[in-house]
Structure 1
Amino acid sequence: MASISSAGIGSGIDVLGLVSQLVAAERAPTDQRLARFESTTKARISAFGALRGGLSGLESAIKKFDGTGADLGRKATVGDGAGFTATVGTTAALGTYRIGVEALATAHKLHSAAGASTTQIGYGTLSITVGSDAPIDVTIAQGKGTLSDIRDAINAKTGGQGVSASVVRGDAGDVLVLSSTKPGTAGALTISASGGDGGLGVLATTGGTMTTQTAAADAKVVIDGITRTHSGNKLTDAISGVTLDLTKAKPGEVFSLEVTADPSPVKASLLTLISSYNTALNALRTQSASGGEGKVAGPLGGDSAPRGITQSLRGLVSNNYSELAALGFKTAVDGSISMDGAAFDKAIAADPGAVARIFGSEGALGKPLRSTLTSYIGNDGLLTDRTKALDNRIKQLSTQREAFNARMGRVEEAYRRQFTALDSMMSKMQSTSSYLTQQLAQFSKQS
């Protein structure tokens, strides 16, 4: 194939410039059409993404009312100076309880007799039992029987199994301290020794020198005259839905625990729902704006999908308007909603189950709203399908552009061949013309 590398060869025709201009003129309409189509399609994909985002936020907000999410919360009020604190869940029964903390649970702590830090207590095996658990055997090697050595051996063997060892240096010498990590009688420590030289027997709880610094004791609390003992200071099952944290023993004293309804969690969820609903409506309105009179048209202007979604959402609110109004809800001309907090507090005090009946999983508004949102943004929803179709269109445009570029490459090659042939022919004609001119000039001289 002939190659043209610069202007002025042969006939002097600017082949490269001509070919470039012809190819550019031929490809411009299709380039513009594909670019415009691609830009429009990507804008629509982005617009549907904005709609999905708005509706997903609304879906998350309504799901907060699933299960017991639409039930009023609970608030615990404890009498001043009580030896306990309380937290309550939504299942706690409303009412007042009289509670007294007679005793706190304490963890067992043992001290050895004091001795010099270098004294070898002995060697053999220490068996440590925590409550009713299986004994933990700790081997003390010969020559490794100081209190510090024994401490290290115990911690290495029993780490995380209910007991810890330390050495406290006092005026009389070193003291081995064994502490149960389990409060109450269920964590009581029992120590025995066997084997070796018998020296470890001084660390046994029976026949040895170990003394109790803190006795293992269970917590004791009296609730409405009913006594309950527990191995720890946190009771999660004494009162249904209530957790008691015991902080100080106050024998003979009784304090009140009042469990009352707390609408603030549900109110906060409703405010989130309102904000999410208004955000979704605004996204629908923005992306489907028709434009005109100086206003910018949205990417989905003229598309029926956002209009249909808007009508569905507003229709659901309209169908339940009287119930919503009773809770303090209001609607604006543009379809957005708001809530009068004071009116809500008053309504919910009179009818605690109103929120569940409207927004719960089976609620008059909650159930159809959940279903409607699934039909739009679920795996087989309208917006999901529309987005997939647009993604496929982008792929098709890419294929079309590749095919178009290949065709334009062939067109450019054809132009090059044509102009190369033209250049060659004109070059030959110029040579022939020059030859004839020379011959005629010589003929004239001879004549």
Structure 2
Amino acid sequence: MSISSLGVGSGLALDDLVKQLLEAERKPKSDRLNAREEKIEAEISGLGAIKSKLSEFKDAIKALKEDKDINGREPTIKHPNEDVEVFTADASSSATRGSYKIAVTEMASGSRIETADAAFASTSDSVLSAGSGSLTFKVGATGDTFSVNVTAGMTLSELRTAINDNADNFGVSANIIDTGTAAGGAKLVFTSEVTGAGNDLEIVNDNNLAELNKVSTTDSAETATYLTPVKAATNAKATIDGIAVESATNKFDNTIANVSFTAKEKSPMEADGVTPIASTLEIGYDKEGLEEKIRSLVENYNGVISEIKKLTKYGASELEDDGILAGDSLIRGMQGGLGSIMSSNVSASSLGGLFTIGVELNKDGELEIGTTNYGVGTGEDRLEDALEDNFDEIAKLFTDENEGIAVRLYDYIEQYTSSSGLISTREKAAKQDQDRVYDDRERLEVRMISYEQMLRDRYLGLDQTIAKMNQTGSALFAMLG
């Protein structure tokens, strides 16, 4: 008999009875599994939240862990006119601190070549009347080169387009200037972007066609001279503390050791129109950058502590829930370890500890750059003084390989967050527990299917017995009339 027909013979609600018995059997076991699963999921979520905050904190620590990240040099430039940027500058961490007076007297430029007056009457004049050849554009020993094919009937305008659109063009621009006079005609102008003295553009008449001499500087043997640059390529020129310097480009690399500066325009002149007004370049420590790193350390540390407090707290009353990792010894122990490192003494630095640079642990176990004056200035005062007077000692405070606070913090957090770390291990164990709950739930469902079948078999017999009794009763009543 099918499940849907249970109770039909007897008229009893046996199907409902079976469902009630099944629910009574399943519910306590299912509730226990749900409670276990909810607890495990909460633990995994809590551990993930802690790891996320620790990762953010580790990034802030990493910015303070290496000496090169702290001792970077910051170029500061003061130009004579705030509206004019004469040059920009960069410095490596090994640059020496110093101040320099720099004036840009010449910008680097490329060469310029023009066709002769009246060589062409208009842009539609043919460059080559018959045959075909090619022009090769090159710049000295730089290796820059490309060629343009010239065919019979190609106009001056078409040659310009062929040059400008060449896929290998290394920075040659061709333009046409129509002088509007018969004496001048249309002039093809070549401009090279390759700068530096001696880097003049050459245009080689590869096939020595006489007509192409009008747009060439030399023949295939590079012995003849046709067009010559009307403007030669030049170096950029500057003075550094009165010393003249030059560069083939507008970038002066290591002219000052481990410092580069890039000329943007010529320096303005004194009233005499002859003497350039120098800009001041100062190479010093990146105080603003280090201060930002220290404040980021404080902010991210407090983010970790705040997350730990939220997850491990006990409710103040029955109306307030405990944190999902309430009283967790692993997380509480980690919090204690972080606080211990933050409050430790670093003998390698004359500053001693974070308090000297204004960073303090408050009563809530969080960091702050304090506003209270303990007779040595507020935290803000101490931080400012340390950045101004003890930059190297701040570096030692964080980066000393044995005692540095950032070094120790980074290694300590790695013990928890690495793939084999303590938190990661806890996460793996929790996920294994979660898998066991899934397995237990499957086993429960298998048992419930078996239990349901047993109940239905049992009540099916009762249903059939009562059905037969009902049939017998009906037959007796019929016989008795």
Q: Same fold (TM over 0.5)?
A: yes
Identity %: 27
Quick check: 2:163–2:169 contact (8 Å CA) kept in 1?
A: no
Q: Match for 1:194 among 206, 217, 221?
A: 206
Partner of 1:445: none
Partner of 1:278: 302
Output the amino acid matched with 1:413.
Q
Unmatched runs of 5 consecutive residues or more in structure 2: 219-223, 347-351, 370-378
How far apart in 2 are the matches of 1:35 and 1:404?
12
Q: Match for 1:354 among 387, 393, 398?
A: 393
Partner of 2:253: 236
Partner of 2:333: 308
Higher mean Cα deviation, 429-438 or 82-91?
82-91
Q: Match for 2:215 among 203, 217, 221?
A: 203
Partner of 2:86: 84
1:131-168 deviation line (CA, Å, top 9, x unaligned): 31347452434335212222233234453423233334
Partner of 2:363: 333
1:177-216 deviation line (CA, Å, top 9, x unaligned): 2221222236420112132743111111246764635321
Aligned-pair CA distance for 1:108: 1.3
Output the amino acid matched with 2:337.
S
How far apart in 1 are the matches of 2:4 and 2:170?
86
Quick check: 2:109–2:234 contact (8 Å CA) kept in 1?
A: yes
* CA spacing shift, 1:410–1:260, aligned 2, 3 Å: same
Output the amino acid matched with 1:237.
N
Higher mean Cα deviation, 122-131 or 160-169?
160-169
* CA spacing shift, 1:415–1:214, aligned 2, 3 Å: farther
Quick check: 1:45–1:391 contact (8 Å CA) kept in 2?
A: yes
How far apart in 2 are the matches of 1:86 and 1:379?
44
Aligned-pair CA distance for 1:80: 1.3
Output the amino acid matched with 1:306.
I
Quick check: 2:109–2:193 contact (8 Å CA) kept in 1?
A: no
Output the amino acid matched with 2:113.
L
Aligned-pair CA distance for 1:129: 1.1
Quick check: 2:238–2:245 contact (8 Å CA) kept in 1?
A: yes
How far apart in 2 are the matches of 1:143 and 1:151?
15
* CA spacing shift, 1:401–1:83, aligned 2, 3 Å: closer
Partner of 1:162: 171
Q: Does 1:253 align with 2:283?
A: no
Quick check: 2:101–2:281 contact (8 Å CA) kept in 1?
A: yes
Q: Match for 2:106 among 103, 107, 116?
A: 103
Quick check: 1:221–1:228 contact (8 Å CA) kept in 2?
A: yes
Quick check: 2:114–2:188 contact (8 Å CA) kept in 1?
A: yes
Quick check: 1:105–1:217 contact (8 Å CA) kept in 2?
A: yes
Q: Does 1:264 align with 2:288?
A: yes
Aligned-pair CA distance for 1:169: 4.4
Higher mean Cα deviation, 413-422 or 109-118?
109-118
How far apart in 2 are the matches of 1:331 and 1:80?
46
* CA spacing shift, 1:93–1:408, aligned 2, 3 Å: same
Q: Does 1:412 align with 2:452?
A: yes
How far apart in 2 are the matches of 1:112 and 1:193?
14
Output the amino acid matched with 1:120.
S
Q: Does 1:153 align with 2:159?
A: no
Q: RMSD of the alignment, in Å?
A: 2.5
Aligned-pair CA distance for 1:350: 2.2
Higher mean Cα deviation, 380-389 or 118-127?
118-127
Higher mean Cα deviation, 175-184 or 164-173?
164-173
Aligned-pair CA distance for 1:73: 4.3
Partner of 2:476: 436
Aligned-pair CA distance for 1:341: 2.6
SS of alignment partner, residue 37 of structure 1 = helix
Higher mean Cα deviation, 401-410 or 57-66?
401-410
Higher mean Cα deviation, 92-101 or 162-171?
162-171
Quick check: 2:79–2:85 contact (8 Å CA) kept in 1?
A: no
Q: Does 1:124 align with 2:130?
A: no
Quick check: 2:313–2:322 contact (8 Å CA) kept in 1?
A: yes
How far apart in 2 are the matches of 1:62 and 1:404?
49
Output the amino acid matched with 1:419.
Y
TM-score (norm 2): 0.84
How far apart in 2 are the matches of 1:253 and 1:230?
18
Aligned-pair CA distance for 1:406: 1.9
* CA spacing shift, 1:8–1:181, aligned 2, 3 Å: same
TM-score (norm 1): 0.90
SS of alignment partner, residue 64 of structure 1 = helix
Aligned-pair CA distance for 1:242: 2.5
Q: Does 1:37 align with 2:25?
A: no
Output the amino acid matched with 1:301.
A
Matches within 5 A, 1:9-24: 9-24=8-23
